[in-house]
Amino acid sequence: MNGRRTAALPTPVALLFLLPAAALFAVFVLYPMATALTYSLFSWRGTAQEAFVGLDNFVALLTTEPYRSQLPRAFAHNGLLFAGAMVVQNSVGLLLAYALHKRDRLRRLFQVLYTMPYLVSPLVVGYLWSLLLSPLFGPVNAALRAVGLESVAQPWLGDPDTALWVVVLVTAWQWVGFPLLIYGAALGSLDPTMEEAAMLDGASSRQRFWHVTLPMLLPVIGTVSVLTFIFSMEAFPIPYALGGSNGSPAGATDVMSLLFYRTAFNSGASNAIGISSAVAIVLFVVIVGVSVLFTRWFRHVERGLT
Amino acid sequence: MRRYAAVRGPGTARVLVNRAAVNVVLWGYAVVALVPLLIMVWNSFRSDQELVADPLGLPVSPSLDAYREAWVEASFSTYFLNSVLVTTASVALSTAVSLLAAYALARSRSRLMAVIEQVFVSGLMMPVFLMIVPIFYLLDTIGLASTRTGLILVYAAVSIPFSVFVLATFLRQLPDELEDAARIDGAGPLRTFWSVLLPLVRPAVATVVVFRFVPIWNDFFYPLILVRDRAQYTLPVGLTTFFGEYQTSWSTLFAGLVIATLPLVVLFLVATRQIVAGLTAGMGR
């Protein structure tokens, strides 16, 4: 900066200004974070901390029921949520952003319309769709019947084969505004002369999209992918609203957050704290690990392309 | 765009077809995005009998019965007031302490301050599942378990990283000549902060308020775990019990969803520009 920051605060005064925020943050964020790490290394009887057991809780997570079968299943479901979000929500978002980018009229209106579901609480969105998909009075099945697709109408959330896809689609419906706005902003900042040059060279609009625009968007696609991964791994309100805390039907919509919630607060197991803390740590390590590795790999790919 | 289309005469028809296709996609998705929300609103004005008889119908004889039921019988008035109290108090508290902290961080040259700022900012990636059990016992220990006060303090604390980050960034962009002038005129740090800086940071404060209000209003994870007493429930947790108990009173359920959403619609109408700008801030590089 300008090197003559005469307005600098003396450190004691600055610390005084800092004090309220620092105190609040230390007590309700830093302290819980620090203790959480130790929780998983002890055995618990209810709320009483017992012996230091090292990694026993993690071992129990992998070898004893119900965790042994529920943990991989929940992880796989989170993985499917991520894959579904990448395929449905992010590509629809990109497509719509690209279509909007080409127009000047009504762009703002469309952006606002597409972003509306994003502003509604995810819990409300989940419950709303559970009502819309109801086999009794649900407008979705009614609409299918009205257009002669009687055979397609079914209890979407009651069938283990379709329930998780409902979660994917409902999540995508809510979140599509997020990639849309980010890609929209990125497209707006791209240099238009590249595309114009390709156009003069006779490239079709599809070629221009795949070979000119898309490569320029890669860094943003990387960012959106990492954020989508984090959101997918932490998905909670929508699965909770659509399938309850047990991930019904038959665990078809069970995800990591629900497994954690059940283990910590609904299981009645005496070592609930130890095991659930282990679940939380596994989830945290996977989120951070994959995000870091992905970002690194993506930078590498990007460099290879430019 | 049009300039080139005109030059390439033979392609004009295809350009028109393309335009039409794009229009169909854009309006088509607008319908997909909007109709479920509209159904939520108009079904809340219809009776259960109407909903079963004609799931796709419009409210022919709109009634407010569902709202009366939700507001009075299903305690939405309580949940609503709790949500308003918890959200406004925690946003006000976190914004106030974050503003003071951001001022200190932006106007200090000390090394220590830089370290503290890093600690705050690292909280942007908070592992909530990891923290929730310790927070639960912490509140229990200090006698704030299952209270709105406990919830307010937790929300305020987890809001600090974002608020400090935005406010400190904004304060650094402000020229410090005004503060110099105030100091020369004999104003102390607190007076300078209050009379000189505060009026200038209003836009950043508005952003922080809007961007913390929405997630806290919508949040359901913290109260689900931290609040066990129904009289202290906020709207989202209230909704979960309500959906268990009113399973067959569908129009009441729709009304409950509308009540939970309405304040955000109001906020959205008041602050559209801030929301759209904030969502994409720094993303367009």
- Contacts A16 to B, Cβ<8 Å: 104
- Number of residues assigned to chain A: 306
Contacts of A288 in chain B (CB under 8 A): 125
Of B39, B133, B284, the CB nearest to A273: B133
Asked whether residue B284 carries a pLDDT value surpassing 80, the answer given is: no
Which member of A14, A100, A260 has the closest CB to residue B129? A260
Q: How far is A102 from chain B (nearest CA, A)?
A: 8
Q: What is the pLDDT of residues B13-70, one digit of tens each?
A: 777 787 888 888 889 999 999 999 999 998 888 887 887 777 777 777 778 888 888 8
User: Which one, of B260, B192, B259, B189, lies nearest residue B223 by Cα?
Assistant: B260
User: Contact A284/B127, CB-based, under 8 Å?
Assistant: yes
Catalogue all structural domains in chain A, each as residue range(s) with its CATH number: 59-305 (1.10.3720.10)
- The verdict on a CB contact (< 8 Å) between A129 and B36 is yes
Q: A197 to chain B nearest CA, in Å?
A: 11
Please name the residue that has the structure tokens 């088509």. Answer: B28
pLDDT band at B192 (very low <50, low <70, confident <90, very high): confident
Closest CB to B39: pick one of A31, A132, A223: A132
Shortest Cα distance, chain B CAs vs residue A261, angstroms: 9
- Tell me whether residues A138 and B55 touch, CB distance under 8 A: yes
pLDDT of residue B281 exceeding 60: no
Task: Find chain B residues with C-beta within 8 A of A28's C-beta.
Answer: 135, 138, 153-154, 156-158
pLDDT digits (tens, 9 = 90+) for B135-180: 998 999 899 988 999 999 999 999 999 999 999 988 888 887 888 8
Considering only CB atoms, which chain A residues are within 8 Å of B125?
Answer: 288
| pTM of the complete model beyond 0.90 | no
Per-position pLDDT tens, chain A of length 306: 444 444 577 888 888 999 999 999 999 999 998 888 888 888 877 777 777 887 888 888 888 888 888 888 999 999 999 999 999 989 999 999 988 887 777 888 888 888 888 888 899 999 999 988 888 778 888 888 888 787 777 788 888 888 899 999 999 999 998 899 889 888 888 888 888 888 888 888 788 888 888 888 888 888 899 999 999 999 999 999 998 888 888 888 899 999 999 888 887 777 888 888 889 999 999 999 998 998 888 888 877 766
For residue A105, the chain B residue with the least C-alpha distance is: B23
Facing residue for B133 by CB, picked from A128, A276, A283:
A276
- Are the Cβ atoms of A21 and B107 closer than 8 angstroms? no
Contact criterion met (CB < 8 Å) for A223 and B283 = yes
* Chain A residue with the nearest C-alpha to that of B49: A137
Predicted local distance difference test score (pLDDT) of residue A4: 46
For the question of an ipTM over 0.90, the answer is no
The pLDDT value given to residue B66: 81
What is the predicted pLDDT for the residue at B163?
93
Please judge whether B157 and A124 are an interchain contact, meaning their C-beta atoms are less than 8 angstroms apart. no
Distance CA A14, CA A36 (A): 31
Closest chain B residue to A237 measured between Cα atoms?
Answer: B220
Cβ contacts of A21 on chain B, cutoff 8 Å = 97-98, 100-101, 120, 160, 164
Higher-confidence residue: B261 or A103? B261
